[in-house]
Amino acid sequence: MDIESKVNKLINEGFEFKLEQYIATGFAIFKREYGLFIGFSIVGVLISMAAAFIPVVGSIAQIVLTGDLNLGYFYVARKIKLGKKPTFEDFFKPFNSIGKIAGVALLTSLVTIIGFICLIIPGIYFTVAWSLAIPIIYFYSGIGVWDSMEASRRIVSKHWLSFFLLVICLLFINIAGALCLVVGLLVTIPVSHLIMYAAFDDIMKPDEQNQEHNNEDDIPLEELND
């Protein structure tokens, strides 16, 4: 199913937002490969910090790299869901699509920053509304930057308050991680991305359009919690 058909189906038929399931699934996926997730989180933070020190374009480089690094969690989580053994190199597979990911990351960041500067409420709205834009452009082929942003906005707006509550929950999870002598962030940062992956996968079901995987290899998210 192409992205336009998927969006229209979700808008017209609606969908259930399962906050508790997404949180439980995020922790469950983390427990399956916690060593890999913690190791990548350390590497990811170091890469992001190094990018910030690049002269002139440091902030831009950090935004672009962060978009790809965050998708690394999604890629590995999807591989676990498909019953496959991930490797550390898998976290960097999204860099193969760095061009289109960069476009979404930069445009959403720019408009969101403008929204916060002009008035805080638009900034908050767009931060939540575009939370699925990067994974949409990565997991769905043949979609442009603006179309992925619009697809995310339309879908999220169907349950905007639920997505906003999810973002708030992730914020508090990471605050709790920071309070644990900051070391807790090595757990809460990957878990936060895995929770977002669980939401994205349950709502968007990107593997429905992917013919390279057999359905019997696909592990339902509920079973990951067992």
Q: How far apart are CA 107 and CA 201, in angstroms?
A: 23
Contact assessment for residue 193 and residue 16, using Cβ atoms and an 8 Å cutoff: no
Angle at 110 between CA 107 and CA 116, to 5 degrees: 140
Q: Where are the alpha helices (DSSP H) in 119-184?
A: 120-129, 133-139, 145-158, 160-179
State whether residue 127 is helix, strand or coil.
helix
Supply the pLDDT for residue 212: 41
Q: Please count the other Cβ atoms lying within 10 Å of the Cβ belonging to residue 211.
A: 7
What are the φ and ψ backbone dihedral angles of 77, each rounded to 5 degrees?
Answer: -60, -40
Supply the pLDDT for residue 7: 92
Q: Would the pTM of this model clear 0.95, i.e. be above it? A: no
pLDDT in tens, 129-171: 999 999 999 999 888 999 999 999 999 999 999 999 999 999 9
Q: In which residue ranges of the chain is pLDDT below 70?
A: 1, 209-226
Burial grade of 179 (CB within 10 A; 0-12, 13-18, 19 or more): exposed
pLDDT in tens, 17-29: 999 999 999 999 9
Q: How far apart are CA 218 and CA 32, in angstroms?
A: 16
Supply the pLDDT for residue 5: 87
